[in-house]
Amino acid sequence: MDYIIQTEALHFEYSKHKKVLDNIAIHVPKGSIYGFLGPNGAGKSTTMRLLTGIIPEQGNAIKLFGAPLQEQLPMVFAKIGSLVESPALYLHLSGVDNLRYIAKLRGISEAKIDEALALVDLTKDGHRKARQYSLGMKQRLAIAMALLSEPELLLLDEPVNGLDPNGIIDIRKLLIKLNKEKGVTIFVSSHLLSEIEKMCTHVAIINKGKLRFEGTMQELSQKASLCKIQVTLEEADKWAETLKATYPNVVLTAENQLTLNIGNKAQIPDFIKGLIAQNAAVYEVKILDGLEEWFLTITDEKTTDEK
């Protein structure tokens, strides 16, 4: 497979007592939207800074476009667009002038400005001052700045952080559009499983500096094959004790509520019939998000410390 980003045994430490990344191996296929997922403090931003050369790698573990990163500096950045830290915008300038400044700085034709604004849906707002933009619009302008050089690879660190629901949807649609229409490979970090799930083709999960999973979204979904349900019924504490013999993972979560894992959704009707046959007063059965539950499990500090 043609990997546009590849790391082997990537590690980084700020001191002997503070290891941030431990033996990270990621493989980003060309043409993918690759989600780099993990809780805050997991090591996502450090990985991003290493990939973009903001901080030098401690070794020679990073390959971009099939060649070692260190052998391509700084020329390789002509093929990369990035938004790793807060957008560096000149708020007293218009969106167009922000792009014009970047174009001049990078030696890029100003003729590409209109196309960049159109890609991020800011054509009508291009002549407004950036200080008048919403947070989502500022984020889209920053992405437009990264797109001016028509990069093959786009690196985005938490691009929807702090945005309202509409802003999150706008960024998601934009990234899918860039990937499908322009063929841009996108590497995006996030702590939001729901967003990664909706737009990515591949995903890696990192926690406490270690890689916990890498694969396609389909493979990730298969990892969460168990079905977790929440049951509301009378005397839930007594039923929790009764069910433990068959479902050892049953948990009493409230006075009249318990959760447990069963094999799959098809087993739910028989499970409910079994309870009713034993005169249980069942009020509600709710299917919980199996993928989210699995993600929370593998990023739980107690769980991962034991692995």
CA separation (Å) from 267 to 90, 236, 261, 263, 305? 58, 20, 11, 7, 33
CB neighbour class for 169 (10 Å; exposed up to 12, middle 13-18, buried from 19)? middle
pLDDT digits (tens, 9 = 90+) for 256-296: 999 998 877 788 899 999 999 999 999 999 887 667 767 87
Position 185 pLDDT exceeds 90? yes
What would the pLDDT profile of 47-68 be if each residue is shown by its tens digit?
999 999 999 999 999 999 999 9
pTM exceeding 0.75: yes
Helix extents (H) in the chain: 44-51, 95-106, 113-119, 135-147, 165-182, 193-199, 217-223, 236-243, 268-277, 290-298, 301-305
Q: At what angle do helices 135-147 and 165-182 cross, to 10 degrees?
A: 20
Q: Which residues contact residue 295 at a Cβ distance below 8 angstroms, ignoring those fewer than 6 apart? A: 37, 193, 205, 224
Mean pLDDT of 37-53: 93
- Percent of the chain that is helix, strand, coil (3-state, to 5): 40, 25, 30
At residue 304, the pLDDT reads 46
- Domain covering 3-222: architecture: 3-Layer(aba) Sandwich (3.40)
For 61-113, the pLDDT digits (tens) are 999 999 999 999 899 999 999 998 777 899 999 999 999 999 999 999 999 99
Q: Which CATH fold would you assign to the domain 224-305? A: Alpha-Beta Plaits (3.30.70)
Task: List the domain boundaries for the chain.
Answer: 3-222, 224-305
